[in-house]
Amino acid sequence: MDKLRAFVNGREGNNDNRNILQAANEASTLGWGTRVKGFIVCFAIGVGCSILGVCCLFIPKIGLILFIVFYTFGNICSLASTMFLMGPVKQLKRMCDKTRAFATVVMITCLVLTLCAVFWWKIFALSLLFVILQVIAFAWYGLSYIPFARDAVLKFFSMLCTMCMK
């Protein structure tokens, strides 16, 4: 924006040593307020689509398809909303950290397989299984951002299993 202002004001100089990537990065950066607004809007769309999908579940014949499509799109929007807060590159790097890589791969695979099962293979039981796996993978991925949350969940379920075995 400063370069455009300098050009309009007639002060464009050749002493600027920035390359094209640096200029594009500076032009695409968002202020904190804009990032928060983008996060809220994208997250609200994601939650709204997920809720709409659950509501569509009770429509005869096409309800299951609508549920799967809206729920999957809602998860994609919710995941994309976090990119507003950190920026896409930083978020993608964090998604590929060794603590989150498995959860990320499972989550994205389940998103894709859910849509394949409903549109391409047309196996609705399989698509529901992938939706359930989507929920579990998305929760496990989200827990990776809370310190010691995964350990607490694993400990809780191991205690629950030992109590059930007795």
d(CA 146, CA 129): 27
pLDDT tops 80 at residue 16: no
Is 91 among the domain residues? yes
In a domain, 26, yes or no: no
Q: What is the DSSP string of 79-108?
A: HHHHHHHH-HHHHHHHHTSTTTHHHHHHHH
Q: How confident is the model at residue 20 (pLDDT cuts 50, 70, 90)?
A: low
Look at residue 10 and tell me if it is in a domain: no
Domain count, the chain: 1
Domain-located, residue 97: yes
pLDDT: which is higher, 62 or 4: 62
Q: Which residues, 6+ apart, have CB-to-CB distance to 130 below 8 Å?
A: 110, 113, 114, 117
Residue 8 has pLDDT above 50, yes or no: no
- Mapped onto helix, strand or coil, the DSSP state of residue 23 is helix
Q: Which domain holds residue 161?
A: 31-165
Q: Is residue 50 assigned to a domain? A: yes
Q: Nearest to residue 1, comparing CAs of 31, 16, 22, 23?
A: 23
pLDDT in tens, 96-109: 988 889 989 999 99
- 118 membership: H or E segment, kind and range: none
- Which pLDDT belongs to residue 48? 95
Q: What does the pLDDT read at residue 1? A: 55
Domain for residue 131, yes or no? yes
Residue 102 counted as domain residue: yes
In a domain, 2, yes or no: no
Residue bearing the bigger pLDDT, 29 or 87:
87
Structure confidence by residue, pLDDT tens digits, 101-156: 998 999 999 999 999 998 898 888 898 899 899 889 988 888 888 888 889 999 99
What CA–CA distance (Å, rounded) separates 92 from 127?
A: 26
